[in-house]
């Protein structure tokens, strides 16, 4: 689970401070306030990990990636290439690293830090390191060689004695991407073979992240499935039906936690329960259009006595909510799910009900949720559930983003055990009370004239 994130000089953020992440983390605020950029830091690192190019410091994106920033110049705050991009990220390891226990005997939290600058029109790593309370390992540029125009590196090894192999003390080449040790490290040193475990832990963190963007795919009259198992539901939810069919074929259940009564329910059943609870449909079926065909139809019944129709012939909300539900119950436990505006196209009642889905997933599936939202109804339901002790306030981290003179700023909302927000920002969700006051004033004036 991601526990902390800090970014400096990224897009509209001069400095995000250190954001504390919880099992359920929500980012709220006006349009273009910078909340999406926080998510994009993670997506940029995610696509960097997935890139096959070991020499690409950061993958800024293309037409096939999760996000496309353009160039390093486009990423930097105020597009000032004299600045450096700095990212700090902390997360809890799912299990201890298989290395010297004396290095990691104070918990399973690991922190990664990096600083990147542009030189000669290309990004270069100033340093990167992994650390915990006892030790730090990484690489930094050799300042003496930097002055002579050479891009070589030296090792960071605090809290641990690195033993060099006999021979000439060669400098290290640049890191692999922005987070990896080159092969020369294990060749130059006798006792640093475990450094690859840090890199693997970093890559595993991002392989366990699933992302669903704000614009879901329009429903289809039929879906093709050839037996593959998608990793998630796709950026636009285009893989939601294949994922649902794969879950059916593998017999996946909505939760494997033994203390949960519904732990052995098939994913399809759990999804149907939510769709029924939100009063969107009565039932659904997902079957091939004919025997031995790869074409499947998703049919729904709006009520007990209504006719069964294709998903394209009912309200748009079902097809927009379905990828959210499938993703939340399809990903493995201990995954992190990133949702952008999951409430789009949803009825107000369904927006509120979505908070209950997220709480269920966090509590009963051990899945971390990070969402960006504009929905006051979702937030209010979450506040209510905190008051009802359905989720602890400490299991949530809610933030409000705003722009101040062109710079994004973020404030953590202080939520007490009764769900009250103690530092509610002005005009958080617009001025609805002000609208009611003005409406009342106009009504009084009109009634006075009518008399």
| Within-domain flag for 281 | yes
DSSP class of 280: S
Give the other-Cβ count within 10 Å of 246's Cβ.
18
Domains in the chain, number = 1
pLDDT of the residue at 300: 94
pLDDT of the residue at 425: 81
Q: Scanning the structure block, which residue is given the tokens 């920033």?
A: 69
| Within-domain flag for 399 | no
Answer for the pair 391, 24: CB distance below 8 angstroms, yes or no: yes
| Within-domain flag for 98 | no
| Within-domain flag for 326 | yes
* SS3 letters across 51-76: CCCCCCCCCCCCCCCCCCCCCHHHHE
Per-10-residue mean pLDDT of the chain, 451 residues long, equals 95 90 94 89 96 94 90 92 95 84 71 94 94 91 70 90 82 93 91 92 96 93 93 94 93 60 76 94 92 91 91 88 96 95 92 96 95 93 94 95 88 92 78 61 75 65
Answer for the pair 422, 436: CB distance below 8 angstroms, yes or no: no
Buried b (16+ CB within 10 A) or exposed e, 76-89: bbeeeeebbbbbbb
| Within-domain flag for 126 | no
Strand, coil or helix: what is 110?
strand
| Within-domain flag for 243 | yes
| Within-domain flag for 76 | no
Which domain covers residue 276, as residue numbers? 216-331
| Within-domain flag for 405 | no
Give the other-Cβ count within 10 Å of 447's Cβ.
9
Task: Determine the Cα–Cα distance for residues 286 and 120; give it in Å rounded to an integer.
Answer: 55
Answer for the pair 235, 211: CB distance below 8 angstroms, yes or no: yes
Helix ranges restricted to H, 217-307: 240-250, 267-277
pLDDT of the residue at 254: 73
pTM: 0.91
Q: Scanning the structure block, which residue is given the tokens 């748009």?
A: 316
């Amino acid at each position: 689970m991601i526990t902390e994130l800090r970014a400096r000089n990224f897009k509209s953020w001069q400095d995000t401070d250190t954001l504390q992440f919880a099992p359920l983390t929500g980012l709220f605020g006006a349009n273009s306030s910078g909340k999406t950029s926080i998510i994009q830091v993670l997506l940029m690192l995610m696509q960097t990990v997935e890139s096959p190019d070991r020499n690409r410091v950061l993958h800024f994106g293309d037409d096939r990636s999760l996000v496309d920033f353009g160039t390093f110049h486009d990423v930097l705050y105020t597009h000032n290439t004299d600045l450096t991009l700095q990212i700090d990220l902390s997360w809890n390891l799912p299990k201890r690293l298989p290395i010297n226990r004396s290095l990691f005997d104070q918990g399973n939290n690991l922190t990664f830090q990096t600083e990147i600058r542009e030189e000669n029109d290309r990004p270069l790593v100033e340093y990167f390191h992994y650390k915990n309370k006892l030790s730090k390992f990484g690489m930094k540029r050799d300042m003496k060689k930097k002055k002579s125009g050479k891009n070589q590196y030296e090792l960071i090894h605090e809290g641990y004695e690195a033993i060099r192999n006999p021979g000439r003390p060669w400098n290290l080449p640049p890191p692999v991407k922005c987070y990896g040790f080159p092969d020369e490290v294990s060749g130059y040193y006798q006792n640093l073979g475990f450094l690859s475990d840090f890199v693997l832990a970093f890559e595993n963190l991002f392989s366990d992240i699933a992302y669903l963007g704000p614009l879901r795919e329009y429903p289809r009259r039929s879906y093709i499935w050839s037996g593959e198992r998608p990793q998630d539901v796709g950026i636009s939810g285009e893989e939601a039906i294949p994922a649902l069919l794969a879950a059916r074929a593998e017999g996946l259940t909505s939760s494997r936690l033994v203390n949960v009564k519904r732990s052995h329910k098939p994913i399809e059943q759990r999804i149907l329960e939510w769709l029924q609870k939100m009063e969107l449909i009565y039932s659904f079926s997902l079957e091939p259009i004919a025997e031995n065909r790869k074409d499947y139809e998703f049919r729904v019944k709006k009520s007990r006595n209504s006719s069964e129709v294709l998903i394209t012939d009912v309200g748009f909300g079902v097809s927009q909510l379905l990828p959210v539900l499938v993703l939340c119950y399809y990903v493995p436990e201990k995954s992190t799910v990133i949702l952008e505006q999951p409430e789009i196209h949803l009825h107000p009642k369904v927006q509120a009900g979505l908070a209950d889905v997220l709480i269920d997933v966090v509590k009963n599936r051990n899945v971390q949720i990070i969402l960006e939202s504009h929905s006051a109804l979702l937030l209010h339901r979450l506040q209510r559930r905190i008051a009802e002790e359905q989720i602890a306030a400490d299991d949530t981290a809610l933030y409000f983003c705003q722009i101040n003179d062109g710079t994004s700023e973020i404030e953590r909302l202080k939520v007490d055990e009764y769900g009250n927000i103690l530092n509610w920002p002005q005009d958080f969700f617009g001025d609805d009370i002000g609208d009611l006051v003005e409406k009342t004033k106009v009504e009084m004036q009109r009634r006075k004239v009518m008399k």
